[in-house]
Amino acid sequence: MGYLASIFIGVALGLIGGGGSILTVPVLVYLFSVDAVLATAYSLFIVGTTSVIGSFSYFKKGLVNIKTAVVFGIPSIAAVFLTRAFIVPAIPQEIFSIGNFTVTKSILLMLLFAVLMIFASYSMIKKDKKCCDEEPQKQKFNYPLILVEGTVVGILTGLVGAGGGFLIIPALVLLSKLPMKEAVGTSLVIIAAKSLIGFFGESSETAIDYIFLANVTAFAIVGIIIGMALSKKIDGSKLKPAFGWFVLVVGIYIIIKETLLS
């Protein structure tokens, strides 16, 4: 089931251009029984590698804005690297207790991840009223906001191991004036860079099972190749709301699982 789900993650990423990576941590935790903290590290590698593959077709079509990727990517990459190297190791194993219920480091990260999933699902479900203005605009950078947004996305990525495309794409459209398709391609490059660099910023004390990680990543890559092939025949934007509802259900399940059923 875990490997089938890994293929599905790749298919979703290839078909709808993002969002599939949000399922990586739940798959690792609930289907492969990987510890939540370790799962966030594994997810960075899987998300980063699949995003590299996914960005190739955008590069070929000239839909990657390198300048924007650098401007937005630098604070994001720095934040995710520092988060994995210093913040995550500094979080205590037991945060606080309420009666017999103890919030551990793993539970805290899963609850934070579930909240992120619910926000991501909303961005997929809602209908865009001004659907993706493709008219080219003169590019200008709101540097203070880009710095803040890039840092926040980097910290979230470092904590929960998700790519954060649902946060990056609107930021690129609004703050850098990119057309939607170019924003998607550029976001994949940013996600790839910050996720992989964040993974390599992981504490040296973390025991990484590289064979297992390579296997899951390989299945996800197979999925993204299938998804990219299907995207030529299927309009992924029409599937996005349905996928958003699925992500919402998984997010709610995680909250119930980690609080009421743990």
**Looking at residues 244-260, what average pLDDT do you find?**
91
pLDDT at 131: 46
State the pLDDT confidence band at 253, using cuts at 50, 70 and 90: very high
User: Cα dist. 212→33, 40, 186, 216 in Å?
Assistant: 12, 14, 29, 6
3-class SS at 207? coil
Would you give the distance in Å from CA 107 to the centre of its chain? 19
Q: Which amino acid is at 26?
A: P
Residue scoring higher pLDDT (198 or 133): 198
Residue 72 and residue 171 in contact, taking contact as beta carbons nearer than 8 Å: yes
Structure pTM? Answer: 0.83
3-state secondary structure at position 103 = strand
Q: Average pLDDT for residues 110-129, to the nearest whole number?
A: 83
Q: How far apart are CA 109 and CA 105, in angstroms?
A: 6
132 has pLDDT over 50: no
CB neighbours of 82 closer than 8 A, spacing ≥ 6? 158, 201
Average pLDDT over residues 66-76: 89
Across the chain, mean pLDDT equals 85
pLDDT band for 137, please (50, 70, 90 cuts): low
For the chain, the helix, strand and coil percentages under 3-state DSSP, each to the nearest 5: 75, 5, 25
Percent of the chain with pLDDT over 90: 25
% of the chain surpassing 70 pLDDT? 90
Each residue's pLDDT tens digit, 204-250: 667 889 999 999 999 999 998 898 888 778 876 777 888 889 889 99
Q: If you compute the radius of gyration of the chain from its CA atoms, what whole number of angstroms results?
A: 18
CA distance 2 to 30: 9
Find the Cα–Cα–Cα–Cα dihedral 194, 196, 197, 198, rounded to 10°. 80
Q: What is the mean pLDDT of residues 9-23?
A: 76
Q: Higher model confidence: residue 203 or residue 107?
A: 107
Most confident of 103-107, 131-135, 182-186: 103-107
Instruction: Indicate the pLDDT class of residue 129, thresholds 50, 70 and 90.
Output: low
Q: How far apart are CA 85 and CA 79, in angstroms?
A: 10
Long-range contacts of 82-86 (CB under 8 A, 24+ apart): 82/158, 82/201, 83/154, 83/155, 83/157, 83/158, 83/159, 83/198, 84/41, 84/44, 84/158, 84/198, 84/199, 84/201, 84/202, 84/203, 85/201, 85/202, 85/203
Quickly state the pLDDT bin for 134 (edges 50, 70, 90): low
How sure is the predictor about 260, in pLDDT bands with cuts at 50, 70 and 90? confident
